[in-house]
Each structure stands twice: as C-alpha cells, then as structure tokens.
C-alpha cells in the first residue's frame, strides 16, 4: 500500500510554491511533483476556516507562511455559529465535494443523517438565479464550488444511488 502523504509537510509544499510563484493562486487541481494535491489541500484549509472548524493554531501557522485565504483578496465569509442548519448544509456540501470532486449535489441528495442537502442547495441556487440571495451567501457557496449557472445534463440521482437495486 502506497503512503500518499508527502515526505515534506503541506505547509512546506505551500511555502515552496509561493516562493516560486509569489502571489499566484494555486489552481484547485494542482498536484506537486511528489504527488500531493496542494490545490485541494488549500481549498480544504479555506473551507474549514470559513466554516469555523479550523483550529486557531492552524490559522496562525498558515498566516505565518503567508497563506492566501482567497484568490481575489476578498476575505472569506464566516458562517455564523448561531445558524446551525446553514452550517450543517454547508459542511455537507463540503463533504460531498471532497468525496465526489465537485459541488454538483443532486437535488435528491440526502446525507446519512437525513439532511436534505440537495433540496436546500436547490432552493439556494434558485434564489441566487433570481438575484434574491444575499452576497455573503453567494460568496460562501462560490467558495464551495457552487455556481448559479446551468448544471451539466445527466441523471438526476446521486452517484451513490446509481446502479443500486431495491
């Protein structure tokens, strides 16, 4: 079994990239020479901070190496700890993205805990398209990779349900 962790830390790899390419955003699909998915790692750090799950000491470490919290110098929106449902939905979208590589959550997607994430996201995108979603919420969804644009054509079932028989 191959160990996918790089011999050097993610912080060192990030710092090396920034040294070679100052103030250059790391593409989401960027993979280092040693095979580490640095772009995905960067996205996970950003999303964790936005959702309030990144420990303060990790934020300090990242700030110390000049971590770019966004590609456009606009601060990441913080998700309020008091809005529990929104936090759960956004966390589920982040988990879906991590598992599937995109945020194209099917409208009928339901988490193992019974959260109707697909319907919640469908309604949010519908509001976005109608220009009725606040900018802060648009920004949060954008960071997760959600877009108000048309979705690719295809089956409307969750990837894990395709091919299952009942």
If you ran DSSP here, which 8-state letter would residue 78 be given? P
Closest CA to 34 of 14, 62, 58: 14
Q: Which H or E element spans position 94?
A: helix 84-100
pTM: 0.74
- Collapsing DSSP to helix, strand or coil, 128 comes out as helix
pLDDT at 155: 57
Q: Give every CB contact of residue 149 below 8 A, 6+ residues apart in sequence.
A: none
Angstrom CA distances, 84 to 22, 94, 114, 121, 125, stand at: 38, 15, 15, 15, 19
Which residue carries 């040294």 as its tokens?
A: 19
Closest CA to 54 of 43, 66, 45: 45
Is residue 33 within 8 Å of residue 11, measured between CB atoms?
no
How confident is the prediction along the chain (166 residues), in pLDDT tens digits per residue?
444 554 569 999 999 999 999 878 899 889 999 999 999 999 999 999 998 889 999 999 999 998 989 888 788 888 887 788 998 999 999 999 989 989 999 999 999 989 999 999 999 999 999 999 999 899 999 999 999 988 777 655 444 444 444 4
Which residue carries 């601060």 as its tokens?
A: 75
Angstrom CA distances, 136 to 49, 77, 94, 122, 151, stand at: 15, 6, 17, 17, 22
């Amino acid at each position: 079994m191959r160990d996918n962790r790089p011999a050097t830390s993610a912080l060192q790899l990030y710092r090396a990239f920034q040294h070679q390419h100052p103030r250059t955003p790391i593409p989401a699909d960027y993979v280092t020479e040693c095979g580490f998915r640095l772009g995905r790692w960067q996205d996970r750090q950003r999303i964790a901070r936005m959702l309030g799950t990144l420990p303060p000491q990790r934020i300090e470490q990242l700030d110390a190496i000049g971590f770019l919290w966004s590609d456009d110098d606009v601060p990441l929106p913080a998700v309020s700890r008091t809005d529990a449902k929104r936090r759960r939905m956004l966390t589920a979208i982040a988990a879906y993205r991590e598992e599937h590589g995109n945020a194209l959550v099917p409208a009928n997607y339901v988490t193992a805990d019974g959260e109707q994430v697909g319907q919640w996201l469908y309604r949010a995108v519908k509001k976005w398209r109608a220009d009725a979603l606040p900018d802060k919420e648009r920004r949060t969804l954008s960071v997760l990779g959600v877009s108000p644009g048309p979705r690719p054509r295809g089956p409307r079932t969750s990837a894990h349900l395709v091919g299952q028989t009942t």
